[in-house]
């Protein structure tokens, strides 16, 4: 109901204004004037509602700025909190609300896993390097998300919108893969006891390192295409 508030208010204002004008101007005294008035009023209502429907089809709201992503958006990305602030703003944009929400959830999951890894391994060493790599992947995917959202905001055709949204879902899928590997790392790191723990450590670390390496190769392929 909330997303139709603007359209409802518009219709109420037009209808009320029309009723007041109809009575005050004595339009009802003339059949021709009454017909003309009704036709004008219906045209105004039809045009206004078409405007709202057109905006809704592109995921926009009335009186909402066409772009929420601009040059300053990327210039101000200095800390993880800056990335999250932009992602939270994108949750208000209907066409990428679901994907933006998922991206934020994935970041929060990563932070919890990072804290757990610190507790299990006492941080430092190769674990810290891997953790930093995972953070880099998550932030980089947020940047790619923002760039594609900027393009999405300028899209008008449904096929364009669908294509861009598919890419946003692909980014969340990449995060999911890295987070799953991170979970495996946590599980195996928690079992590191005794003389045979080295094999388990190498296996779990190699899995996530390979995932990050493959992720970077995929990005390079996209840039070169």
pLDDT tens digit sequence for 99-136: 999 999 999 999 999 999 888 876 567 888 889 999 99
Q: Are residues 130 and 172 in the same domain?
A: yes
Same domain, 196 and 162: yes
Do 120 and 181 have their domain in common?
yes
7, 98: one domain: no
Give the single-character DSSP code of 192.
Answer: -
Evaluate whether 148 touches 169 at the Cβ level (below 8 Å): no
- Judge if 148 and 206 occupy the same domain: yes
Tell me what pLDDT residue 199 has: 47
Both 36 and 107 in a single domain?
A: no
Residues 8 and 37 in one domain: yes
Q: pLDDT grade, residue 15 (50/70/90)?
A: low
> Are both 47 and 78 inside the same structural domain?
no
- 168 in any annotated domain: yes
Residues 82 and 30 in one domain: no
Domain annotation covers residue 62: no
pLDDT for the residue numbered 134: 92
pTM of the model: 0.67
87 domain-assigned: yes
Is 179 in the same domain as 212?
yes
| pLDDT greater at residue 47 or residue 141 | 141
- Using pLDDT thresholds of 50, 70 and 90, give the confidence band for residue 219: confident
The answer on 149 and 87 residing in a single domain is yes
Please tell me the distance from the alpha carbon of residue 49 to that of residue 214, in angstroms, as a whole number: 49
| 41 — pLDDT class (breaks 50, 70, 90) | low
Specify if 111 maps to a domain.
yes
Rounded average pLDDT over 198-206: 60
pLDDT in tens, 173-191: 999 999 998 998 888 877 7
Q: Which domain holds residue 208?
A: 71-224
Residues 135 and 178 in one domain: yes
Neighbouring residues of 86: CB distance < 8 A, sequence distance ≥ 6: 69, 73, 77, 142, 146
Query: What's the mean pLDDT when you consider all of the chain?
Result: 78
The number of domains in the chain is 2
Lowest-pLDDT range, 141-145, 197-201, 216-220? 197-201
Of 42 and 53, the structure prediction assigns the larger pLDDT to 42
Flag whether pLDDT at 220 surpasses 60. yes
The answer as to whether 66 is a domain residue is: no
Q: What per-residue confidence (pLDDT) applies to 51?
A: 61
Q: CA 186, CA 183: separation in Å to the nearest integer?
A: 5
Contact (Cβ atoms closer than 8 angstroms) between residue 133 and residue 212: yes
Task: Say how far apart CA 9 and CA 58 lie, in whole Å.
Answer: 21
Q: Which pair of structure tokens corresponds to residue 73?
A: 């958006």
Residue 32 domain flag: yes
The domain boundary, picked from 30, 57, 84, lies at 57
């Amino acid at each position: 109901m909330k997303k139709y508030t603007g359209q409802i208010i518009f219709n109420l204002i037009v209808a009320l204004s029309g009723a007041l004008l109809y009575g005050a101007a004595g339009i009802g005294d003339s059949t021709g004037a009454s017909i003309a008035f009704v036709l004008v009023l219906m045209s105004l209502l039809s045009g206004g509602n078409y405007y709202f429907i057109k905006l809704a089809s592109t995921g926009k709201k009335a009186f909402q700025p066409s772009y929420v992503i601009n040059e300053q958006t990327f210039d101000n990305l200095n800390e993880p909190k800056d990335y999250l602030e932009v992602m939270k703003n994108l949750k208000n944009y209907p066409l990428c609300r679901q994907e933006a929400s998922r991206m934020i959830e994935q970041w929060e999951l990563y932070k919890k896993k990072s804290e757990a890894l610190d507790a299990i391994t006492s941080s430092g060493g190769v674990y810290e390097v891997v953790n930093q790599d995972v953070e880099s992947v998550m932030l980089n995917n947020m940047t790619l998300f923002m760039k594609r959202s900027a393009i999405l905001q300028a899209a008008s055709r449904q096929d364009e919108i669908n294509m861009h949204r598919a890419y946003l879902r692909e980014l969340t899928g990449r995060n999911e893969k890295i987070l799953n590997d991170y979970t495996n790392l946590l599980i195996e790191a928690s079992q590191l006891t005794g003389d045979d723990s080295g094999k388990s450590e190498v296996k779990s670390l190699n899995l996530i390192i390979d995932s990050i390496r493959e992720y970077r190769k995929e990005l390079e392929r996209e840039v070169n295409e």
